[in-house]
């Protein structure tokens, strides 16, 4: 029996109240007053689609043996690299084996998330894969003072698919394709080119989603009474409700579109919306999930008794509640690299990344893998062939030791106003790990006034720097104050 084994989600901590956009930009486009309610999730300057996918994937894999994953599918319309496999970076960040794991990227449409999920379910059902991790994330850009700046948001979501301990059995899928172009983005463009909103609302969401859902129901001989939960994206609140009416759905069966909480998060959004549904789902209930974009994908799942035993992921719920409000609109613009600020002389020294060194140290940099001495058990980072324990000093007797997921605490810290930083002051310090190990890390998603010695920290995979000259992003792990 193939289906969902686990799930996870992650919203960036930073949120931009839509009223802040209105207060700053309604003089230019008063229409945005109409959608001033709620807030949108905003990726920090050191977050992108890869880092948000890694965060959601760790939430999905919490309490499970991730080494069983033999396939990773990554879906996004905002890849960090056009010609470097993004899914491979995620696999390294998850410390998966380098042999026997297939990685693939899905892109080109907002329904790439559901497309990847269909491919994962089909692979598991056919026996070609045993455990597939589907990660989806988007860092959605929009021009200032536009309706799309109000509608869109950033987030990551992950679904694990397999044949054992299935919490939601895969019933099948149905897809239609329509090259209805409501927006597009050429390779050399930063922002989408968008057509008028009525076009995607009236000819897109309002017609295509009902057509696809009706097709799925007919194909699988289901009626509305059989289904307990419907999940479909639509950032127009009124039209989201109208779609339910067209299908004859009661309000209780339709998952909220999360517009007020985070905005539409693109390829990740159907999977993200599935998180709260699975949180409250009961055995025997049927869930319908739809993804929209140049057509529509529809998937069906039946919840099993195993849902009672799963340790419910915390990522979506915790990240929904623990947030940092962006009170400065210009700070938001700088996070999005939409204004130019002088970073000073220190900000000019971005060297060419030595790809040979990145290859040699890939486990340390992407997976934050240190070593543990087999002789005495001492843990250390960065890895070294010699044990740092003065009573041991064993040489070349080490095993890999992975730090992500381990609880850390602040040993000492500082704020540096001289260091080049997009969000000054740059915070960093020494961090101690439970079980051993101490290292220097950057801090992120926090204000130094809220940091204290002994505070519990989590590790978060982030972009360490961006080389705009060569188009390269370098990644490492940072310390984030624990939420919840």
CATH architecture of 3-335: 3-Layer(aba) Sandwich (3.40)
Nearest alpha carbon to residue 372 among 362, 393, 387: 387
pLDDT at 160: 97
pLDDT of 484: 66
Distances (CA, A) of 339 to 16, 42, 45: 17, 16, 13
387 with 373: CB under 8 angstroms? Answer: yes
The pTM of this model reads 0.96
- The SS3 assignment for 199 reads helix
Distance of CA 269 to the CA centre of its chain: 10
Positive or negative torsion for Cα 276, 280, 283, 288: negative
Q: What is the pLDDT of residues 57-97, one digit of tens each?
A: 999 998 777 778 999 999 999 999 999 999 999 999 999 99
Q: Give the model confidence (pLDDT) of 461-479 as tens digits.
A: 999 998 888 889 999 999 9
The answer to whether the 3-335 and 346-368+403-481 domains have the same CATH topology is no
E runs forming strands in 273-394? 286-292, 295-303, 324-325, 369-373, 379-380
CATH, domain range 346-368+403-481: 2.40.50
**How much is the mean pLDDT over the chain?**
94
Dihedral of the alpha carbons of 108, 113, 115, 116, in degrees to the nearest 10: 110
Phi, psi of 85 (to 5 degrees): -70, 110
Chain segment 153-206, per-residue pLDDT in tens: 999 999 999 999 999 999 999 999 999 999 999 998 999 999 888 889 999 999
Answer whether residue 437 shows pLDDT above 90: yes
Q: Percent of the chain scored above 70 by pLDDT?
A: 100
| Cα angle: 189, vertex 331, 440; to 5 degrees | 100
Where in the chain are the domains?
3-335, 346-368+403-481
pLDDT (0 to 100) of residue 57: 97
CB 48 within 8 A of CB 78: yes
* Percent of the chain that is helix, strand, coil (3-state, to 5): 30, 30, 40
Let me know the angle formed at the C-alpha of 325 by 324 and 326, rounded to the nearest 5 degrees.
115
Residue 3 vs residues 74, 101, 133, 160, 342: alpha-carbon distances, Å: 18, 19, 12, 8, 51
What distance in Å separates the CA atoms of residue 79 and residue 388, rounded to the nearest whole number?
40
- 225-279, pLDDT tens digit by residue? 999 999 999 999 999 999 999 999 999 999 999 999 999 999 999 999 999 999 9
What is the spatial distance between Cα 61 and Cα 313, in angstroms, rounded to a whole number?
9
Tell me the CB-side half-sphere exposure of residue 102, using CA atoms within 13 A: 12
Angle at 36 between CA 31 and CA 39, to 5 degrees: 135
Residues 320-352 have pLDDT tens digits of 999 999 999 999 999 999 998 887 777 777 778
Task: Name the H helices within 79-111.
Answer: 86-93
């Amino acid at each position: 029996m193939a289906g969902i084994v686990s799930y996870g989600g992650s919203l960036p901590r930073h949120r931009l109240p839509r009223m802040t956009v209105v207060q700053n930009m309604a003089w230019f486009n008063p229409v945005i007053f109409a959608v001033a309610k709620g807030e949108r999730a905003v990726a920090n300057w050191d977050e992108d689609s890869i880092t948000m996918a890694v965060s959601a994937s760790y939430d999905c894999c919490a309490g499970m043996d991730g080494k069983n994953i033999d396939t990773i599918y990554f879906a996004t319309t905002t890849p960090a690299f056009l010609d470097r496999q993004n899914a491979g970076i995620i696999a390294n960040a998850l410390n998966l084996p380098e042999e026997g794991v297939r990685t693939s990227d899905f892109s080109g449409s907002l329904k790439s998330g559901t497309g990847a999920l269909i491919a994962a379910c089909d692979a598991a059902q056919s026996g070609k894969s045993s455990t597939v991790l589907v990660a989806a994330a988007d860092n959605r850009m929009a021009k200032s003072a536009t309706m799309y700046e109000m509608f869109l948001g950033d987030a990551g979501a992950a679904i694990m698919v397999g044949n054992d301990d299935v919490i939601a059995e895969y019933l099948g899928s149905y897809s239609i394709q329509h090259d209805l172009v409501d927006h597009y983005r050429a390779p050399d463009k930063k922002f989408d080119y968008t057509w008028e909103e009525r076009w995607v609302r009236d000819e897109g969401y309002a017609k295509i989603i009902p057509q696809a859902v009706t097709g799925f129901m007919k194909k699988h001989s289901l009626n509305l009474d059989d289904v307990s939960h419907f999940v479909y994206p639509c950032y127009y609140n009124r039209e989201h409700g109208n779609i339910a009416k067209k299908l004859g759905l009661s309000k209780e069966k339709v998952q909220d579109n999360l517009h007020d909480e985070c905005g539409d998060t693109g390829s990740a959004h159907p999977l993200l919306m599935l998180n709260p549904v699975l949180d409250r789902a009961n055995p025997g209930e049927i869930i319908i999930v739809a993804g929209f974009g140049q057509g529509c994908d529809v998937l069906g799942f039946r919840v099993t008794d195993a849902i009672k035993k799963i340790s419910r992921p915390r990522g979506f719920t915790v990240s929904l509640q623990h947030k940092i409000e962006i009170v400065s609109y210009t700070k938001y613009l700088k996070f999005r690299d939409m204004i130019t600020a002088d970073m000073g002389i220190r900000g000019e020294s971005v060297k060419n990344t030595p790809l040979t060194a990145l290859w040699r140290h890939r486990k340390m940099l992407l997976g934050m893998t240190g070593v543990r001495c087999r002789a005495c058990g001492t843990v250390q980072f960065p890895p070294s062939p010699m044990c740092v324990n003065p009573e041991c000093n064993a040489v070349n007797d080490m095993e890999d030791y992975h730090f992500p997921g381990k609880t850390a605490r602040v040993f000492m810290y500082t704020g540096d106003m001289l260091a080049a930083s997009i969000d000054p002051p740059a915070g960093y310090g020494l961090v101690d790990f439970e079980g051993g190990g101490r290292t220097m890390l950057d801090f992120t998603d926090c204000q130094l006034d809220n940091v204290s010695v002994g505070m519990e920290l989590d590790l978060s995979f982030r972009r360490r720097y961006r080389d705009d000259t060569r188009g390269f992003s370098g990644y490492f792990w940072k310390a984030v104050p624990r939420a919840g």
